[in-house]
Amino acid sequence: MSTDPDLPDLHSTEVGEGGARVAFLHGLFGQGRNFTQAAKALTPELHSLLVDLPNHGRSGWTDTIDYVDVADAVAAHLREGFAAGGPVHVVGHSMGGKVAMVLALRHPDLVDRLVVVDISPVDTDGSGEFEHLLDSLLALDLDALTRRSDADEVLSARIRDERVRGFLLQNLRSGGEGLHWQANLPLLRAELDTIGGFPDLDATFDHPVLWLSGERSPYVRDEHDDVMRRLFPRTRLVTIKGAGHWVHSEQPEAFVSALRVFLTA
């Protein structure tokens, strides 16, 4: 729990006990638990912290979204626990990759090695896809549904990919008053332009950085290389064959292997 009343409380889960410490930051619609299998596969060499970012999972909600504010909230969470004894490795995917980059630029004392998964420090195209996904979720009449399977059936008319629906519906929870969204979907929809952007920061992070790209993903491009290396001069780019944007779920063995080699070097 944060001791700063201006910062949202963040929920996190630890996996493993020994080895180097690494914090995982998920992407839009995700939760820390998305990296559970990767974290388990990295034991005993690595001890992982799976963080729910603000407005996701079991972490607190905010009134606005700003990458600097989110990175500062993650920094406070790390300082109060997982990184109290010194810097840790940080892995961030997509939106979480942008948070991880801002965290490293603003709080370099907290970050040892950085892994940025399939995202670049630039304004990101693709908001139309995420608008469609969020609008589809927000259009569900939860009062008329009793089970997640009901929501899946209704959602299938607008989102045909069963795997994508399953990923999105992990945010749907049941309680005493029926189904509810765990993620702050209205705010995420309202702040999509901010989520797709990247702040202008006058800083560099001069530690080793692994930049993982999915071979079939459009989010890491040749034209992004200059700005990435200006901010992170010790960047190494590795492309994961056969992967799209969700590298860790589409090619889990290659993802874990790349992390193990880089983070235990």
**Could you report the per-residue pLDDT of 12-59, keeping only the tens digit for each?**
999 999 899 999 999 999 999 999 999 999 999 999 999 999 999 999
CATH 3.40.50.1820 residue ranges of the chain are 12-124+198-263
**How many Å apart are CA 233 and CA 243, to the nearest integer?**
25
Measured in degrees and rounded to the nearest 5, phi and psi for residue 53 equal -75, 160
Strand order, beta sheet including 20-25: 12-15, 46-51, 20-25, 88-93, 111-117, 209-214, 235-240
The full DSSP string for 142-178 is: GGG--SHHHHHHHHTTT---HHHHHHHGGGEEEETTE
> Using 50, 70 and 90 to split pLDDT, how confident is the model at 126?
low
Residue 11 in this model has a pLDDT that exceeds 70? yes
> Using 50, 70 and 90 to split pLDDT, how confident is the model at 4?
low
Give ∠ CA 86-88-91 in degrees, rounded to 5: 165
Residue 72 in this model has a pLDDT that exceeds 80? yes
> Using 50, 70 and 90 to split pLDDT, how confident is the model at 204?
very high
Count other C-beta atoms under 10 Å from residue 245's C-beta: 21
Structure tokens at 1: 């729990």
Report the candidate in 128, 121, 116 with the shortest Cα–Cα distance to residue 223.
Answer: 121
pLDDT for position 59: 98
Reduced to 3 states (helix: H, G, I; strand: E, B; else coil), residue 188 is helix
pLDDT for position 256: 98
pLDDT for position 6: 73
Residue 65 in this model has a pLDDT that exceeds 70? yes
pLDDT for position 190: 96
pLDDT for position 129: 82
pLDDT for position 128: 65
The length of the chain, given as a count of residues: 265
Taking residues 127-150, report their average pLDDT. 90
Residue 160 in this model has a pLDDT that exceeds 70? yes
**How many Å apart are CA 92 and CA 88, to the nearest integer?**
13
**How many Å apart are CA 39 and CA 223, to the nearest integer?**
32
The rounded mean pLDDT for the chain is: 94
**How many Å apart are CA 29 and CA 9, to the nearest integer?**
18
**How many Å apart are CA 53 and CA 137, to the nearest integer?**
19
Taking residues 132-156, report their average pLDDT. 94
Structure tokens at 83: 């990184």
Contact 2, 80 (CB under 8 A): yes
pLDDT tens string 205-218: 999 999 999 999 99
Taking residues 125-147, report their average pLDDT. 88
pLDDT tens string 92-123: 999 999 999 999 999 999 999 999 999 999 99
Alpha carbon distance, N-terminus to C-terminus of the chain = 32
Contact 174, 151 (CB under 8 A): no
Architecture of domain 12-124+198-263: 3-Layer(aba) Sandwich (3.40)
> Using 50, 70 and 90 to split pLDDT, how confident is the model at 1?
very low
**How many Å apart are CA 261 and CA 112, to the nearest integer?**
15
